[in-house]
Amino acid sequence: MTAAALADKPAVTLSDRAAKRVSRILSKEVPGTVLRISVAGGGCSGFQYEYNLVQETAADDDLVLQKGEATVLIDSLSLEFMGGSEIDFSDDLIGQSFQIKNPNAVASCGCGTSFAV
């Protein structure tokens, strides 16, 4: 996806809490490791988010989110489902997890890792 095509998509943002957590995770990995977030079929609602630590550079069609020491990559196909989302990190009494606040989702499961559009 060209830079112009990426510019037409609603922005995906990375909250400060999520950036701090990604930075902490990446600091314990081999230099050059980034977090790749993607959307795959499956989960209890039809689609699910996948989080993978990878050692790769961004592809031409990847959205690159950079905040401090945190680098997150999202491929163009996943961006179709995630446009306008905020990636956040929750740390509460029931546990810690990345949460994606996705305005495109019409339904989601209780744990927040799968959704329907």
Looking at domain 3-116, its CATH class is mainly beta
Q: What residue segments make up the domains of the chain, in order of their start? A: 3-116
10 Å CB burial of residue 91 (0-12, 13-18, 19+) is exposed
Model's pTM, two decimal places? 0.83
Local confidence band at 70 (pLDDT 50, 70, 90 cut-offs): very high
Query: How confident is the model over 79-116, as pLDDT tens digits?
Result: 999 999 999 999 888 788 899 999 988 766 655 565 66
Local confidence band at 71 (pLDDT 50, 70, 90 cut-offs): very high
pLDDT at 14 over 90: yes
Scanning the chain, the segments in alpha helix (DSSP H) are 3-8, 16-27, 76-82
**Which pLDDT score is estimated for 1?**
46
**Which pLDDT score is estimated for 12?**
95
